[in-house]
Chains A and B, each alone.
Chain A
Amino acid sequence: MPVLCSRCAERRAMLKRPKTGHSLCKECFFWAFEEEVHQTIRWGPASGGKDSTVLAHVMKLLNERYSYGLELMLLSVDEGITGYRDDSLETVKRNQQQYELPLKVVSYEELYGWTMDAIVKQVGLKNNCTFCGVFRRQALDRGAIMLKVDKICTGHNADDVAETVLMNILRGDIARLRRCTAISTASEGEGVVPRCKPLKYAYEKEIVLYAYFKRLDYFSTECIYSPNAYRGYARNFLKDLESIRPSVIIDIIHSGENLSVREGVKMPVQGTCSRCGYISSQALCKSCVLLEGLNRGLPKLGIGKHHRLHNKILAQQPFTEKEESKLKPVEF
């Protein structure tokens, strides 16, 4: 006997919701998924986007359904990874036509003069994700400023947020820990466009289900270069936890939302980078330091904590031999 949809009690259920365990028909699932995103973004989104088809699809649909009055645009970052990006850029271009939304592609190469392929060549596979993470964040901001948008919506889902909570605990990053569960960040300063994560409470599996039944292109934006150790550990741990208790993803986010930091705990003071003007708690922002390291052939510069060297970089002074030897790439 077919299972009936737990919502309409009329049609046959096609799937079991990973989030709640309810059996739903296709139509009711679409409806619930979309309405939940609507609930998440009630507090005012705008435009932009990570290369997530589902995000673009749902945002466009809700914008029409609820007359948000938003002017949506697609923003995509080309990291310069041969093979991997070509496919996804194709998809974004298809989306552009399908949804009739303007598209802006910013590339690492045009912004930084380095593709990820070139970076990996120099730094190897150990720390490459530090580069792609930092560069992507700034690339989105720069692209958003070029497009003159008020807000960036990213396709981060509940799994991503939970994973980030775990990761920040593992590395004791209390400032990030506090920030990562926020649905939208207020403007942190000049050069940073406020962000929101409309899919923050959507399970990755439900996003895939949605894309599957809607016949949308879906592919994970996973970098083909292996994720760094931390993320890898946090991700596998989360997957294992989820296999024991599926609600763990939301449970972790709930925990993250309720953490409160003791008074008197030092939090980094946000200032701006004296080279590029991007927000930074140091004299130079992370991306400028990483770039400096790449250009000087000292890729480890941005990886450890080498704040002492910031002044030297700003003054364009050479490093001592001892300093250099520490920052040289590891031989393979």
Chain B
Amino acid sequence: MCQVDEDYHGDLERAEVPNVSKKCVKCKEASAAVVIRAGDAYCRGCFKEYFIHKFRAMLGKNRIIFPGEKVLLAVSGGPSSCSMLSQVQKGLSRNAHKKLRFIPGIVYIDEGGALGQSVEERMKLGAELQAMFKATGFPFYIVPLEQVLDLPSSVVVMAPSSSEQPGSAYKSAVNAFIQSDSSTCLTPQDQEDTSLPEVQESHTRSLQHLIASVKTLTARQDLLNTLRQHLFVHTARTEGYSKLMLGDSCTRLAIKLLTSISLGRGAQLAQDTGFSDSRYGDIISVRPMRDYSAKEISYYNHMFSVPSVFIPSLDTKTTDKSSIQRLTETFVTKLQGDFPSTVSTIYRTSEKLQTACRSSSTANHCERCLLCMCALDTAVENASAFHATLISEQFSQTKVPGATRTQIPRQNPVTPVLTPTGQHCSSDGEENCGRKEGGGGCCYSAKQPQTTNLKTLLCYGCQMTIKDMSSVEYFPQYILSEAQRRRRRSQMKEEITEFLLDDDDDDDEGN
């Protein structure tokens, strides 16, 4: 009863008008209050049971969250993540039937700065969320997006995973947890009365410069998504959480899957839409809401008064064709209206996929994208479309000797870090880009090569995003520094390459 499980007959069938005044399919007594799918009408009580059961079943089936583990819930204020929050509350409550056994916290990212909201607006929304979070008794972190500007480079470095934990480890952890006095660790600490974090105006301005340097809404949304992930992971790390819970519904994931396809992120689909995502190594994201449709969630929230907050986003008040993300959302929603199995069909496609970068155990050896941390998908063997495009570009330009290649180019010694203020290499004698002597002008005046250099460190999808940026000058420092570090590493590697016995790239990191 827990899976989305309608039979699929080759062609999608059109929506049928639901039969009104039906009895509940479960208890066959009470009259139905909701029709989730054609034929599945539930009474209020059975619907609640079904909904709650599905959440526990999803976590139980996957056994990724260990008893006593600290889990950070990413709550955006929207219906799905708020519903997730309420399920966690229910599951942890003393009288829960199948009690959840982890320690929750909440993280919310305030993106108002990127949207140009006034300080007052942001305070108002923040206060609303704060009240909601306080009511749960869980610790919570309201993080302004501006904090990405102060992230350490370690965010974009894969941390070693906290040792594979096989099934037996899960069992012993359960036992250990039951024996220990669980009641103490489950009592939510009283959150000291936090006021909302203050944001420096200059930080907001830098963030806005960054957003403004991205020319299309599609790329803005994609970049924002990446930065948000970085902040989640960083918050989890600094606050000692090892799991991140995301509230993506099945509907959201279907949209995401189709969006990712269009953004050239096919190689990452399994991570972007699967139950768990371990691209950061130590912090694993899980998506326990992935079996619920948006419709189910809104029924439930409505019937059982789960609060949510309307938070404007980058594409609020834009037209359908303003971005690929937005267009895809409209497309899926419309199609779902005509063909009710659309979402579940797309969603099931996601279950059949895996990440391109082999299994997760060998994943450490892949070269990873500087931004989204997925395995690079730009090598020749699996990217013939990509190379076809490079060839087209090459053929459309005045011939440049040894033109575009995807290998990391052998370039001049370290390009200095760009300062957001736009003061170029004049300031630091030491960090001079070395091009002046050659008469090529300062490296900063040639922004194009800078973008090109960064490109080689990015996956296909992130390259497309960067392409829509007027300059990478406004990137937060941690990204630029890590880019430099990677370039230095690859230069070093080139110098010593003839002495290396193993071709495997164990370049990285944290070990």
Contacts and interface: CB of A to CB of B under 8 A. Distances in A.
Q: Interface centre among B9, B342, B353, B388, by most A CB within 10 Å?
A: B388
B460 A254 contact: yes
Nearest to A40: B388
B507 interface: no
Contacts of A254: 264, 266, 377, 383, 385-386, 460
A260 B327 contact: no
B261 A169 contact: yes
B9 A250 contact: no
Interface residues of B, number: 57
A203 to B, nearest CB: 9
Interface stretch (B25-33, B390-398, B422-430, B445-453): B390-398
Interface string A11-35: 0000001011010100010011001
Contacts of B8: 172
B348 interface: yes
Given A170-B346, A172-B349, A305-B10, A255 B354 contact: no
B202 to A, nearest CB: 33
Contacts of A237: 327, 331
A240 interface: yes
A130 B461 CA distance: 34
A181 B382 CA distance: 11
Interface in A222-271: 229-230, 233, 237, 240-241, 243-245, 247-248, 250-263, 265
Interface stretch (A1-9, A64-72, A132-140): A1-9
B392 to A, nearest CB: 5
B24 to A, nearest CB: 30
Given A254-B266, A254-B385, A240 B396 contact: no
Contacts of A166: 258, 261
Given A39-B388, A233-B335, A260 B354 contact: yes
A255 B324 contact: no
A32 B349 CA distance: 37
Interface in B365-388: 377, 382-386, 388
Contacts of A165: 261
Contacts of B461: 251
A169 B396 contact: no
B266 A256 contact: yes
Interface in A172-211: 172, 174, 177, 181, 183, 201
Contacts, number: 171
A257 B382 contact: yes
Given A36-B388, A254-B385, A305-B10, A244 B218 contact: yes
Contact of B262 (A19, A39, A252): A252
B396 A201 contact: no
Interface of B: prevailing SS: helix
Contact of B353 (A20, A36, A201, A259): A259
Q: Interface centre among B267, B320, B349, by most A CB within 10 Å?
A: B349
Contacts of A260: 267, 270, 353-356
B265 interface: yes
Q: Interface centre among B348, B382, B396, by most A CB within 10 Å?
A: B396
Interface string B265-287: 11101100000000000000000
A32 B382 contact: no
Contact of A243 (B12, B321, B355): B321
Nearest to B459: A258
B344 to A, nearest CB: 9
Interface in B196-244: 216, 218
Given A20-B392, A240-B327, A258-B460, 9 more contacts: A7-B395, A170-B342, A230-B11, A230-B12, A245-B218, A248-B262, A254-B383, A257-B385, A262-B353
Interface of A: 6-9, 17, 19-20, 22, 24, 28, 31-32, 35-36, 39-40, 165-166, 169-172, 174, 177, 181, 183, 201, 229-230, 233, 237, 240-241, 243-245, 247-248, 250-263, 265, 303-305
21 contacts: A19-B392, A20-B396, A22-B397, A28-B396, A165-B261, A166-B258, A169-B261, A172-B8, A174-B352, A174-B353, A201-B385, A237-B327, A240-B320, A240-B321, A241-B324, A250-B385, A255-B263, A258-B266, A261-B352, A262-B352, A265-B352
